[in-house]
Amino acid sequence: MKSLHFSGDRRKLLTGAGAIGVGSALVLALDACSTDSGGAAASETASAAPATDLKDLETAEEIWDALLEGNQRWAAGESVHPGTDVETRESLVEGQEPRAAVFTCIDSRVGPELVFDTGVGDLMVTRTAANTFDPLVSESVSYGPAALEAPLLVVLGHQKCGAVTAAHDALAAADAGEEVEEHEYALPEVVAALTPAYEAAKAESGDPIDAMIAANVLLTVQALKEHPNLAELVADGELTVVGAVYSLETGLVTEIEG
């Protein structure tokens, strides 16, 4: 593989056989989020709902709902930045009890604590290019749920992911028998890791990058559910793994399912 350049309500859509494809789901999600009515709804929700303290919540559903409420505030420009005061910081010196783990991309525009309007100690975040993972990364991702008993794990992809775009272009060129353009910054391991998502998204209609982003999220969700550190927790209902995609254009997070 040649070198590649790395350029820089509950909202839910069903994807996969029997529903709609991952590409179509993501396009519909982003289109729906960008409408005037969607923006108005986000603003109204943000104005009506104060920040919920995640530390007071027990179930994954409650925590996910609270994260989506925070995301509504972020998208509406009404973030309250809870839990960022000195007292909260000092209260966490002796230990941490994050209520959710988030596995997302390294993209500088996708900060989970900002996107979900949460405070220090609320989220345990792991970030890699296009949220690709290997055994070492997966152990980091699983630490929050397995060791610290966080009942929710969110895999968060995002619109216009540069790593996914670079991998798609390289793999599509290879499929067409074309020469892959060499660049100064190489991503061969990322391309290899994203190949299953590329293959899974091939048959989808709509934008191929959107389809690949959604496919990668769903494949990652499934892999984490089967991880040795997490499989028993998932089977016992002690851990919920959620897949979602973030829109850079609207600031909104949309849950997707396979």
CATH number, domain of 24, equals 3.40.1050.10
Strand ranges for 16-161 from DSSP E: 100-105, 123-128, 152-158
Tell whether 105 is covered by a domain. Answer: yes
Tell whether 183 is covered by a domain. Answer: no
CB 141 within 8 A of CB 126: yes
- Quickly count: other Cβ atoms within 10 Å of residue 246's Cβ: 28
CB 225 within 8 A of CB 241: yes
Tell whether 169 is covered by a domain. Answer: no
- Quickly count: other Cβ atoms within 10 Å of residue 197's Cβ: 27
Tell whether 224 is covered by a domain. Answer: yes
- pLDDT for residue 184: 67
For 182-199, what is the mean pLDDT?
A: 87
Question: How many structural domains are present in the chain?
Answer: 1
* The most confident of 47-56, 102-111, 186-195, by mean pLDDT: 102-111
Amino acid at 198: Y
Q: Which helix (H) or strand (E) holds 253?
A: strand 253-257
Please determine, for residue 23, whether its predicted confidence score (pLDDT) is greater than 90.
Answer: no
Predicted structure pTM score: 0.82
The 8-class DSSP code of residue 109 comes to T
CB 197 within 8 A of CB 15: no
Tell whether 203 is covered by a domain. Answer: yes
pLDDT band at 185 (very low <50, low <70, confident <90, very high): confident
Q: Render pLDDT for 32-52 as a digit per residue (tens, 0 to 9).
A: 444 444 444 444 444 445 788
Q: How far is CA 192 from the centre of its chain?
A: 20
Tell whether 181 is covered by a domain. Answer: no
Reduced to 3 states, what is the DSSP secondary structure of residue 186?
Answer: coil
Range of the domain at 21: 12-82+95-161+192-257
Tell whether 65 is covered by a domain. Answer: yes
CB 49 within 8 A of CB 69: yes
What percent of the chain has a predicted confidence (pLDDT) above 90?
Answer: 68
